[in-house]
A and B are shown apart, each in its own frame.
Chain A
Amino acid sequence: MSDSERPSQLFRNLNAKIASIPMILTALVVFAGGTAWTVLYSFTNSKLLPRLTFVGLDQYYRLWATPRWLVSIENLLIYGAISLVFSLVIGFLLAALLDQKIRFEDTFRTIFLYPFALSFIVTGLVWQWLLNPDFGVQRVVRDLGWTSFTFDPLYNSSIVIYGISIAALWQGTGLIMCLMLAGLRGIDEDIWKAARVDGIPAWKTYLFIIVPMMRPVFITTLVIIAASIVKVYDLVVAQTSGGPGIASEVPAKYVYDYMFFAQNLGQGFAASTMMLLSVVIIIVPWAYLEFGGRKRG
């Protein structure tokens, strides 16, 4: 009986399987194949064009000895931490506030989501002008009377990455808010009523009951935020071109600059392999915890 079931198992949903062949091929060839090729060539000394002269870990030694790369990593960690924490907190707060059945909910939702429709280049440029000390916020506040007010994060090497985080948060929080709102709407009315009957204060309800129930939504938003953190590039290019000196460099910018401007593919590949490695180091243990646990249970 099992013999006659297995072939029909393979040919079940044949149309769907055939339709998904282009996507499978793309995933295999472009994503997996391209990644493997990049990792392989990061061990060579390719300059403008790829070539197979292996130099072992030389590109990596050079990478980790380059101050610009170290600054990039540090910036990514700071930017990542700020983006993650504030996106989630502000997004959730806004969603909780919008969920109170207020009157102009649609309008507010549109206003908060609008920045997400802008590309990072536009966002970067707008915030570059806003944070410009001669024409932006600093000038306006000074004209209003507070003549010693200083606010030019983009020209101060130690806090320029925070200036970039402001622009990124402004752009991305809207989407997180919408996802959280959808999650909140999915919570059963009875839960709220039960919590009220039990006399639990609102903030405790949110923190200890609602948030654990919204775990899938939090995981989705986490993945989306993490993806946009690792690939931050156009925002930095538009806002500060790498900052005063090299203070706001990020890994993606290092990869691009060294692959094309410095015409050193090997270095660029080594840097992008390091970026891949950092993502894998986080994803693999998490995936094991998520899916490995379920198989056992």
Chain B
Amino acid sequence: MFKAADDARKMAKNTNVQDWNQATNLVITGKAGGQIMGDWAQGEFQVAGKTAGKDYTCLPGLGLNEVIATGGDAFYFPLLKDPEKAKAQEVLAETLLDPKTQVAFNLKKGSLPVRGDVDLNTANDCMKKGLAILAKGAVIPWTDQLLSQDSQKQKEDLFSEFFAKPDMTLEEAQKRFAGIIASAD
């Protein structure tokens, strides 16, 4: 796994970016060949006026293992005493889950609808691929749900360091990664 990370490190040398959306910008303006990022990056492509399938495309699992890691945002509705407000909560929930809303929202922002019965003709290239994988059941939970925040942060620090220090060897990184997972809670 670290061999792949090392290759990625060599390819990403001298890119000089600090935020993920600046890296997306490099792909949009043609300076970079690709970016490893979640499908929310499509939001940036939308704003730049690019179309999925024509100007850019998505490779789930880098085309090798077609699996999706799922994670997302949640809406929490507290139980209200006012019946009118409770009714309004239900209307909001209904609107959010409506197939048309789901497709429209996810096309703009760049992610997958939470229901599988959306109209596939309105979905874009990346969304169709994602929905197909969801339907097959090839999903794993995102690391947020597997590791504590502390271990996540340590992992992030390790990879930040690895990508920025060309002389850090694979074995060293692997040993430290194993250490983080071993002491993870």
Contact = CB atoms under 8 A, between A and B. Distances in A.
Interface string B9-32: 000001010100000000000000
Contact of B18 (A66, A241, A246, A247): A241
Interface in B116-167: 148-150, 152-154, 157, 160-165
A262 interface: yes
Nearest to A239: B18
B165 A245 contact: yes
A240 B161 contact: no
B149 A261 contact: yes
Contacts, number: 48
A234 interface: no
A74 to B, nearest CB: 14
B185 to A, nearest CB: 8
A262 B157 CA distance: 11
A47 B150 contact: yes
Interface in B153-185: 153-154, 157, 160-165, 176
B148 A245 contact: no
A285 to B, nearest CB: 35
B140 to A, nearest CB: 23
Nearest to A244: B164
B16 A245 contact: no
B18 A262 contact: no
A147 interface: no
A134 B161 CA distance: 23
Contacts of A246: 157, 160-161, 164
A173 to B, nearest CB: 27
Nearest to B183: A62
B143 to A, nearest CB: 14
Nearest to B166: A157
Interface size class of B (residues with CB under 8 A): 10 to 19
A149 to B, nearest CB: 16
A197 to B, nearest CB: 60
Contacts of A247: 164
A155 B68 CA distance: 33
B152 to A, nearest CB: 7
A267 B149 CA distance: 13
B160 A261 contact: no
B34 to A, nearest CB: 21
A243 B16 CA distance: 11
A262 B164 contact: no
A267 B161 CA distance: 20
Contacts of A47: 148, 150
A263 B165 contact: no
A240 B19 CA distance: 10
Contacts of B154: 66, 262
A242 interface: yes
A245 B150 contact: no
Interface string A154-186: 010100000000000000000000000000000
Of the candidates B149, B150, B154, B157, the one having the most CB atoms from chain A within 10 angstroms of its own CB is: B157
A67 B159 CA distance: 12
A68 B165 contact: no
Interface string A37-75: 000000000011000000000000000001110000000
B163 A245 contact: yes
Given A134-B16, A152-B16, A240-B18, A245 B153 contact: no
B160 A263 contact: no
A157 B164 contact: yes
A48 B150 CA distance: 10
Contacts of B152: 262
Nearest to A157: B164
A133 interface: yes
B161 A68 contact: yes
Interface string A220-238: 0000000000000000000
Contact of A67 (B148, B149, B150, B161): B161
Q: What 8 pairs across the A-B complex have the smallest Cβ distances?
A: A245-B164, A262-B153, A244-B164, A263-B149, A264-B150, A262-B150, A245-B160, A245-B161
13 contacts: A47-B148, A67-B161, A67-B176, A68-B157, A155-B16, A240-B18, A245-B162, A245-B163, A246-B164, A258-B153, A262-B153, A263-B150, A264-B153
